[in-house]
Structure 1
């Protein structure tokens, strides 16, 4: 799942540790999300969106294909 967490964090001048503390997770979790190695829980996705004052859809894109289904689904 593509995301804009790194871009938004950098734009705010925050470190991964700063963001992790703000949303109550570890720096390693933020790193894994930014590197597309971990999809956050819905609760964490909401917390990140709340932190950045945006919608979840503004942060995370499931990379839907043209027919509206996620890649690899039929």
Structure 2
């Protein structure tokens, strides 16, 4: 189970629609979605931003292969920030 103060970021797509039904959210703002705009690739970059802003917070980013493929270059920023 995720800690109650976790941040969850979702990408556009079926996975995220299912996740909104399956996951529980406690501390607002704890759920970050692009569902109003349908942005593929949002989740990883958003999760990275949340982690940089709140380093002690548990962050979970859910996305499909397309979204991850679009944002995989952000891993370099993560490695540089360590």
Quickly name the TM-score band, shorter chain normalised: 0.3 to 0.5
- Provide TM-score, normalisation by structure 2: 0.31
Higher strand share: 2
